[in-house]
Amino acid sequence: MTSVTEMADDPGASGRLLFVLALFAGLLLRLVQLGSPDLFGPDEGAWAVGARNIVEGGLPQLLALSATPLGDASGMPVFFPALLAVMVKTFGPYEWAIRLPSVFAGLVAAFVLERIVRRGYGQPAGHIAGAFAALAPPLVLASRAATVEPTLALLGLSGIIFGLRAFEEDSPGEAPLAGILFGLGFLTKGYAVGLFILPLLVALLFRPRLFALGRTKRTLALLAGSFVLTAGLQLLLVALLRPEALAPHLARAFGSAPEALRQLTDVALVSADVRMIVRTLFVLLPLVGVGIAYLTRPLGEEEIVSGATAGDRRLSHMALWCAYGVELVVLVAVAGSLELSSTPVLPALSALAGLGGAALLTPPRSSIRARFEVGATIASGTIVLVLAALLVATSHEPLFDGGVSAPLTAAGALVAIVLCTAGAAWLASGDAARRFGRRVGLVFLSVLLVSEGLEAARTIRHDFLAHRTGARAMADQVAPSLLPLPPRAVTFRAPETDALAFRLFRTGITWADRPTVERIAEEARLGTTVVWAYRETSTDVAAAPAPLIRAWLIVHTREVTSEVDARAGRSTGLRVFVAGPPS
């Protein structure tokens, strides 16, 4: 049995312990009160409603999926809604049920990332990268929502590792599996699967001698063929069985470049901007600079024993992570004009942090190399510190937390960045290992992982568990009024249309079209719209109508606001009306 002392002196064993503990902590963070927040309409709504469409509409909806209950074809990729449909069919239309696939996708993606990093840079780097991926706050947040990005990341990373195995181990039989996974990624998010295919191709380009071999060309053909067949399966079935629905699918899959770029995400639960990355990963980012420097470190005996690779394979793995990191930088650069989700490329930060952790556990033997890595550490820490200070100074709302404690939390975060940079530089110099052994590096990485877990827990409590819109209580209250009406017809007006559509499987619209009193009266008289709801204090035109319409609803319909609040056990901020005589 390995003792604690031996584990501390063995980077592979100590990293393995951190990885296992991080996976368990990541599972807990993802599962705690998973069903408590109401549906995040712009982010989860289309996928949730699509899942119910498949359950209720069967094969016709599977071939021509709609974003509204039993509506017209929208061209939406079908794989993720089909996965959610299995959960809805098994457990019912509950928020926790449709979020559960993302939970496991996020954790399995952390495991796959560990295997990819480990192939190129050995066990310590892989274990630590997987640990950071399991606890990184943006990845934890994305895994707690029914959004497509965690599933896309899992499929993309899995395609990369099977692609690497196919080419590096001369195993053409694994190429079709990589192609199928990439194809499922296309059926999950369209063009976005290119974020994973491109780094794999870049890695292959750095091994040109492979292309002189006939089996390499055969492996490439198998990968490409299986990808095309899988990615085109939905279009083929639609063309054969529902040709009238082919146009929306073609427009979404092969539309204009700007629109296609927007459809890389459609949502921005975890947006690709500097603010989000610095706010949640501030103590981790100085370690990324060490990881970038570690990419070029010459192999030592310990790295080879731990499973690191050398020669052209090492170069190709370096190219893989450089390409993946460049994609993250590009997404951050264009996030000012497009709402992009960074979840598919955020594992690049975890991978580089894992490489940085391995560098700290195994200091370089050359003093010149040690000075280079210390300089890279200080430079990255300085950049992060300057970014954080600028964002704090120029933001309209506090970067770190909020309220009266904002100055203290911001100051604490800036101090944490300085301490992390100083500690990493000390470890990179090798002085810490000479004085105290490798235990100090293990303790340092453990502190960083714990801080990431605590930041994830704080963000969940602050941003997620507070998301209670009253949609579920309202759905339970108005169900008797809506259920007799057909799913496809517009039957309610409310600010939370997606959440209500998921629960009730009925179509609704917001107040964004600014209806007149006469139009509302006509809808009520004809019985086409039977439920109206708005936020009492909102100034958003989509969430609340004009004062004249509010007055008309009070006089001519029955208010059930008190009943909705009673079901929720609190004041929801909604005023809800149903067709019928006034109370």
Residue 438 covered by a domain: no
245 pLDDT higher than 50: yes
Task: Please give the pLDDT value at position 160.
Answer: 96
CA distance 167 to 170: 5
Q: Averaged over 214-231, what is the pLDDT?
A: 90
Evaluate whether residue 520 is within a structural domain: yes
Comparing 267 with 561, the larger pLDDT belongs to 561
The answer to whether position 326 is within a domain reads no
Residues 388-445 have pLDDT tens digits of 988 888 766 677 765 555 666 788 888 999 999 999 999 998 888 788 877 888 999 9
Q: Which domain holds residue 490?
A: 471-578
d(CA 221, CA 200): 15
Q: What is the pLDDT of residue 583?
A: 56
pLDDT of res. 270:
66
Percentage above 90 pLDDT, the chain: 51
Contact assessment for residue 328 and residue 345, using Cβ atoms and an 8 Å cutoff: yes
Flag the least confident range among 100-104, 264-268, 290-294: 264-268
pLDDT for the residue numbered 405 = 56
Q: Confidence band (pLDDT; 50, 70, 90) for 234?
A: confident
Say whether pLDDT at 313 is over 90. Answer: no
Q: Give the least confident one: 48-57, 228-237, 249-258, 464-473.
A: 249-258
Residue 53 lies in a domain: no
- What pLDDT is recorded for position 133? 96
Residue with token string 């109508």: 545
Number of domains forming the structure of the chain: 1
Q: Is residue 57 part of a domain?
A: no
AA identity, residue 137: P
Closest by CA to 85, choosing from 109, 66, 67, 62, is: 62
User: Which pLDDT does position 528 carry in this prediction?
Assistant: 87
Question: Does 580 score more than 80 pLDDT?
Answer: no
Looking at the predicted structure, is the pLDDT value of residue 549 above 70? yes
Q: What phi and psi values does residue 176 have, to the nearest 5 degrees?
A: -60, -35
Give me the torsion for CA of 301, 306, 311, 315, rounded to 10°.
-120
Poorest-pLDDT segment among 102-106, 211-215, 347-351, 459-463? 211-215
Strands 558-559 and 490-493: unpaired
CA angle 366, 115, 162 (to 5 degrees): 125
- At 276 the pLDDT is 82
Is pLDDT of 254 > 60?
A: yes
Residues 336-384 have pLDDT tens digits of 555 567 788 899 999 999 999 999 988 788 888 889 999 999 999 999 9
User: What mean pLDDT, rounded, does the chain reach?
Assistant: 86
- Ordered alpha helix ranges (H), 122-173: 123-135, 137-143, 149-168
pLDDT tens string 51-93: 999 999 999 999 888 989 998 888 888 999 999 999 999 999 9
Residue 2 has pLDDT above 50, yes or no: no
In the chain the first and final C-alpha atoms are separated, in Å, by 74
pLDDT of residue 338: 53
Across 182-196, average pLDDT:
91
Residue 25 within a domain = no
Closest to 28 measured CA to CA, from 102, 97, 103: 103
Q: Is residue 173 part of a domain?
A: no
pLDDT higher than 60, residue 3: no
Report if residue 294 sits inside a domain.
no
Q: Judging by DSSP bridges, how do beta strands 574-578 and 558-559 pair with one another?
A: antiparallel
Pick 44 or 245 by higher pLDDT.
44
